[in-house]
Structure 1
């Protein structure tokens, strides 16, 4: 009888989770994560024009990448960036300055390509509309000297932007977003504090510019509330990419402490599965979290402090069951006392995406944590 009760409980939990998340059964959402080395990596590895043997992005660590570029003159570095902008711009371990230059070149090339597609008579009206949307996005990313640390046009597109100076700032931070974030939704005027750009910009301001902040949309996020959001597949792929980013920052930024990682919503699952160590992160902050894919803070590296932001009354994430049943759900509530995270306040915040809004106690707390206080 005990086994039957357990099975019934598991089935009931799965049904409840399905109902709350609105999965409409167990049909997959179908998001395919972008994984592996940057586009153009095969040509990069085969390029011996300068008598060099470029490191294979699929097998070389960020430390190995950093060592390769350290042996090159600035002129040779720039030449490689011009020949392989999509590789160099996404190569964790490459010099930060060089990645900015490479991504500007890659964005300009993609802008030309999408401009041509927008009027190509062989394409459909839907293709033209999509091309116009990307054209506008690329123009925006190229405008005003923005510091683009990563840019990958594959799939829904990925991008990362830096606010501040990564090599001279007192401290650094990384913002890991949740669902519905991609190249086109990296920043949105109608949701200024709920996108990676808005979150990173406000955190940079709240620290008085002393913290350089990376808005990182560097993984394939779920779209909407469905099976992708309720499972860990996309988070596992994202965790691999986040780990590589943090390893790259460890060898390319200044002597400051490793970054504080801020993980919003589904992004907290990415951070939980990444389990950063003290050489990768000075601390982890979760907010609007559906769980971290772990049972408690004890499952993470004890040398990296974990903070959990209180959930405001208007945050719908509180309606999600904090369970993990048959591969659905992300486990215990990080804000619960038994989880073991250090609490942060959320007074003044509203809704699921309002924790970085100016004047909130959450943003003030985030700034204090980012500054090592």
Structure 2
């Protein structure tokens, strides 16, 4: 059988899996939440000392950082008081100002599902209640950290489930806490649920539409980290999050990108990612993602397998990982390796 015929057969198999199995059929189509946060119109109509405010949709994070650097503390706090939702989501704004703005925004939302995000001591770097909600939280001291990692989760992650009880070390917050504990005190980790993820394993999970929208948001978020002086980040991308990371990494200053439980990165190999970042890949022996065909055809599937030798990524040991979400379990080979990568110590 020729290569073209094999591709057609594999693609047909992928479509059959998507259309016919109970797991794939459980997905619900999602509308990506994009654009500036709620409250942007009021922000744009306002001024500070007669000066216009930076447009959240057009100003770069570095332009935002320069704008806030030119304000005194009274002016900053007045903007915080009048526009907490915008300030809390404005990449490039001072970190402590964003934390305080998001505590106010969460409380003002009046939604009991988000109440715990406003608890004292939490460092919420982004909060957007639109759709299923998006949230980013910092673990560690991002202002002084020598190393920064960003955890990019996959399907079924949103602000409504962010604090839900689940198995330890599996959700974005659990992964971030576990990595921070393993990597040590000079490493800050951000749990970034900053895009609309697929629900279940349906056509959204098989396609790249949500990943493309998420990649733009991830690239802007990392630019915002750079604008406030944070070190170049390591991106840890789980499952569908690795599709997002694969599309975003060329537009970031990431030092490394680590994908695990990945269905593919929408690239044929490492060179196709268009990045100078080191690329790492892990998959445990019982991870069901290995059953997903590694093809991309008619918009479905995410391409080559990142753990294959032909892809060219550096392999992360994961022989003792259980299932699809066990990569951050304490004591595993994968978590130990992740911590070394996060600290810049891995070779």
TM-score, scaled to structure 1:
0.87
**1:285 aligned onto 2:282:** no
The alignment partner of 1:87 has SS state of helix
1:190, CA displacement in angstroms? 2.2
**1:222 aligned onto 2:219:** no
**1:366 aligned onto 2:338:** yes
Deviations along 1:274-294, one digit per CA (max 9) or x if unpaired, are 1235x6211100000000011
Contact 1:107 1:138 in 2 (8 A): yes
**1:307 aligned onto 2:307:** no
The alignment partner of 1:78 has SS state of helix
Cα distance in 1 between the residues matched to 2:265 and 2:235: 14
Structure 2 residue aligned with 1:33: 32
Deviations along 1:74-130, one digit per CA (max 9) or x if unpaired, are 22111101111111101101111110011011001012xx3xxxxxxxxxxxxxxxx
Cα distance in 1 between the residues matched to 2:305 and 2:194: 25
1:11, CA displacement in angstroms? 4.7
Structure 2 residue aligned with 1:13: 10
The alignment partner of 2:218 has SS state of helix
Cα distance in 2 between the residues matched to 1:10 and 1:327: 14
Cα distance in 2 between the residues matched to 1:337 and 1:290: 15
151-160 or 190-199, which moves further after superposition?
190-199
Do the aligned partners of residues 82 and 165 (structure 1) sit closer, same or farther apart at CA in structure 2, a change above 3 Å counting? Answer: same
TM-score, scaled to structure 2:
0.94
* Equivalent residue in structure 2 for 1:186, among 141, 162, 165: 162
Deviations along 1:266-314, one digit per CA (max 9) or x if unpaired, are 000001111235x6211100000000011110112342100111x2122
Structure 2 residue aligned with 1:343: 315
Structure 2 residue aligned with 1:128: none
Q: How does 1:138-287 map to 2 (within 5 A)?
A: 138-254=114-230, 257-276=231-250, 280-287=253-260
1:9, CA displacement in angstroms? 5.0
Cα distance in 1 between the residues matched to 2:203 and 2:281: 25
Contact 1:172 1:260 in 2 (8 A): yes
Cα distance in 2 between the residues matched to 1:174 and 1:27: 28
Cα distance in 1 between the residues matched to 2:20 and 2:32: 20
CA RMSD of the aligned region, Å?
2.0
Contact 2:36 2:57 in 1 (8 A): yes
Contact 1:108 1:142 in 2 (8 A): yes
Contact 2:18 2:25 in 1 (8 A): no
Cα distance in 2 between the residues matched to 1:216 and 1:23: 32
Structure 1 residue aligned with 2:291: 319
225-234 or 11-20, which moves further after superposition?
11-20
Structure 1 alignment gaps of length 5 or more: 115-134
Contact 2:116 2:163 in 1 (8 A): no
Cα distance in 1 between the residues matched to 2:19 and 2:119: 40
The alignment partner of 1:338 has SS state of coil
Structure 2 alignment gaps of length 5 or more: none
Structure whose CA Rg is larger: 1
Cα distance in 2 between the residues matched to 1:253 and 1:203: 22
Contact 2:285 2:319 in 1 (8 A): no
